[in-house]
Structure 1
């Protein structure tokens, strides 16, 4: 009797799936006129839809002219608002058109779910009035976001420390970089906070507090070789970034040679973000298959979700010399029954010069047998060909990268794994 249970469950699933499709078809028929109107309407020119009416409690206005001129529009099904119930992250694909360049695909982000955005409004109101609802624009001028208005010269660590992962342990050098590269102002290029308009200061600080992803992309731009999506601009609470390609997960069953190349690139990203000429260590605190994408032409791996990036200034650490600052820090592996979980200490990331966190995060959550995502296990390097798997060297390196048996074993394993994957890539060619 028990072996018939999967069959019955399968039939129930197929029936439910059929009912859903039929129901959706009925809804489409009943709302044909509304649907046609939706396809014809460009809601990205509506100030209320993009929350431009909430500025300066927003992420910026640099792209508003492009939005209002109709140069930006949702792609096909993205125009249908009833489908938003399936788009919890509020990430949309859109077309952006320039007269001389034609159109190209971009990605629009609201940088949070509808509930998270509503929570931002409530937090601003409570900070200003003590009540969950208020006149949002008036409230902004009564919060800490407005206290730096006037003739304040610099954005200093004591003001914003701990507001978000980006500034969990900020240095003056990092904050000067953030202000100097802030793209939501016409007078960018200066680290002096007083050169920004009052509304621009408040937008910058609100972004820094609630979702600093745009500031990460601006401060460490792709044009300089950083492995992040290119920031284009914002209007209200909608941010535009360059479309990179399909998410990394879509390559889970790609040919072995392709997966080896992607794995090598992921470790290269870990190395670049950890050790670079700028002496900023960028630690990825949220590593999963949907936070990376692969370019369709060059096959390049790019980080497409940079909300949870902690930046530590190695120069400041060397200068202040906190306890054990020069002792290599090893991230501790912990068993987890959830997808894409990591264990780390933010304070340790902020106080050590040499840290293996990025290698640990990439190996555990993307490459090794411990990687779990959407019900699948085995990681990007699953099922190697017999010629690779028979000697067990790859498995040994991955295991040491995740659960090192020797002191500083992860550092050595990550370095050797990068070299080994390079050799495999060369052999595949």
Structure 2
């Protein structure tokens, strides 16, 4: 009785505290609105995306590109309503914005703008450039760029080689010459794309490419493995300064967590197909997703297609190179180890092993554990995308058994077989409900 009374008292206290904090938040927001009334009206009247300093065009070539600058400067791109309110940037840690892009003949469509990092991360890269060039944290950034490793590959260098950029980011943790040639050949921030010769790029274009590769290679992933060729990534559109534009896909996967069962089965099937495509494809590039969570995927608003919308942490291993070099245990199937974790979107992996084995189950493991299984945890909710199946499917037990084996295999090579059977079973379930 005493315990119940105490629990009721504690619950009441926390309830009052929550309501008090909620009230204070609303009041604070109102005060900020009142204090920023003038700036608020100015925000709606001005298109900040035409401001060279706002999009950091003034920092080029310490930027991500200039291919879309004419569209920015012509006012063809504008923030959607809430994106115009600068005081809301406090909550927009990732610096991702929704915008409208208009073409005279095509009309207006929604796009996504990214700065590819938080304000602090962008400040850090500026300081690193200055320190490497001058030894001081502040300097003339443009002049400093010409004194860094980003500028050392001058016009006489024919190729971007692995020893120059290896380890700069996940994309090039273990680069092959074939991968680097692909990145240069498909670089979209140059008018003369199509050549893998680095000397065909202008000095500023080379610096922009290398800075992107080192800071956040997401644009290069989208360009090298484009959606137009069937890769499951958002379409890259262009950049201006430190603002990159990509195609808007649709609502993030998390919004479908409680969608009808039939929809969730279809989405789960597509996720497993993505895991298979990125692992095994005719190009013999294995693309391993190192950051798998519900907000890194989105669902097409028209076609219902699942797409990867955050490709910063993608490691690319060249299977042809692995077969050629034959490192130790190169042909031994590698099984990722399941580990209990009390945090969201946990994954356990070794980048060096991903780079040295031809057959790896990492993508199956990542999708099963972080999105489909009962261990999947996101925004305080557990249970995975396939939670609460219909009674007859739950009673049969096959779905639960396959997901469990894909997440935490009990048999040798169990995850490989479970992933294959899970894809087939989800396809069967999806076909049965159509």
TM-score normalized by the length of structure 2: 0.98
* Corresponding residue of 1:400: 405
TM superposition shift of 1:127: 1.5
Distance 2:349 2:33 in 1: 48
Deviations 1:337-385, CA, capped at 9 Å, x for gaps: 1110100011111111111000000000000011000000010011111
What is the deviation of 1:25? 2.3
**Could you tell me which residue of structure 1 aligns to residue 381 of structure 2?**
376
Please give the per-residue CA displacement for 1:91-112, whole angstroms capped at 9, x wherever unaligned. 0000000011111000000000
Tell me by how many angstroms 1:412 deviates: 0.1
Report the 3-state secondary structure (helix = DSSP H, G, I; strand = E; otherwise coil) of the residue aligned with 1:294.
strand
Give the CA deviation at 1:219. 0.2
Of 241, 246, 267, which residue of structure 2 is paired with 1:241? 246
- In structure 2, what is the Cα distance between the partners aligned to 1:318 and 1:128? 40
Partners of 1:227 and 1:279 in 2: CA distance: 16
SS at match of 1:239: strand
Supply the distance in 1 between the matched residues of 2:99 and 2:45 (Cα, whole angstroms): 15
1:324 counterpart = 2:332 = no
1:31-50 aligned within 5 A: 31-50=36-55
User: Matched residues in 1 for 2:201 and 2:262: separation?
Assistant: 49
Residue deviations 1:263-313 (CA, integer Å, cap 9, x gap): 000000000000001000000000000000001111100000000000000
Residue in 1 aligned with 2:287? 282
What are structure 2's unaligned runs of at least 5 residues?
1-5
Matches within 5 A, 1:2-401: 2-401=7-406
Q: Distance in 1 between matches of 2:35 and 2:191?
A: 48
Measure, in 1, the Cα distance between the counterparts of 2:406 and 2:225: 27
In 2: Cα distance, 1:85 partner to 1:30 partner: 16
| Per-residue Cα deviation, 1:127-164 (whole angstroms, up to 9, x for no partner) | 21222111111111111110101211000111101110
CA distance in 2, matches of 1:299, 1:361: 22
What SS does structure 2 have at the residue aligned with 1:390? helix
Instruction: Provide the secondary structure at the position in 2 that maps to 1:311.
Output: strand
Number of positions where the alignment pairs a residue of Structure 1 with one of Structure 2: 429
What is the match of residue 427 of structure 2? 422
RMSD: 0.9
